[in-house]
Amino acid sequence: MSSFWIEGPFRVPITRGRGGVLRIARAKEQIARFWNSVGYVADERGCYVFTVRGRPYYVGMTMRSFRVESLGPHQMKRYNEALRGRDRPSPRLFLIAQKKDGGFSEAHIRQLEAFLINAGYQRNADITNVVGKKVPNWSVDGLIRSGSGRRSKAASELGHAMGFLPTV
């Protein structure tokens, strides 16, 4: 069984482009400073989540390293889409690295990415991932995709028993 650990959130550097539009910084010095602040996890493999003001906007994975892929041209395009029209976006990057003690598993990284995309889509329908957004067309009142409202005692107890809710 593979396991992962989470690092972050790391503040993604932004700059003002033409017309005052906020964009992810691309200057080599700024990117180098960013990766220095991240530390050794920059060279790990796993999944990453780009957030703006606490909401997920893009989920990705890397089989090489976070440093190589998470701030690449494709990702920058997605990140900049998420910043569009925002005055104080507060972009952050979370890195979810695969632990080495269980061995490297590309399949587990792909499964985690699919899970995170679906979870992110439920939190933010504007998530910029194109592939992987599959939300089932069902809900369980008070427990799964049921919206706001008071949770019944039965839903609470089942939620705790199944691990959907934190135990008290």
Shortest CA distance to 94 belongs to which of 35, 51, 142?
A: 51
Q: Where are the alpha helices (DSSP H) in the chain?
A: 28-38, 66-69, 73-83, 106-123, 153-162
pLDDT for position 121: 87
Same domain, 41 and 70: yes
pLDDT for position 44: 97
pTM of the model: 0.82
Position 6 pLDDT exceeds 90: yes
Same domain, 164 and 143: yes
Same domain, 13 and 27: yes
pLDDT tens for 133-158 read: 676 778 888 887 777 788 899 999 88
Position 168 pLDDT exceeds 70: no
pLDDT for position 87: 79
Same domain, 8 and 84: yes
Residues 6+ apart with CB under 8 A from 31: 13, 25, 71
Q: Centre a 10 Å sphere on the Cβ of residue 105 and count the other Cβ atoms it contains.
A: 14
pLDDT tens for 76-103 read: 999 999 998 887 889 999 999 999 887 8
Parent domain of 165? 138-168
pLDDT tens for 35-59 read: 999 999 999 999 999 999 999 999 9
For the chain, the domain total comes to 2
Same domain, 121 and 87: yes
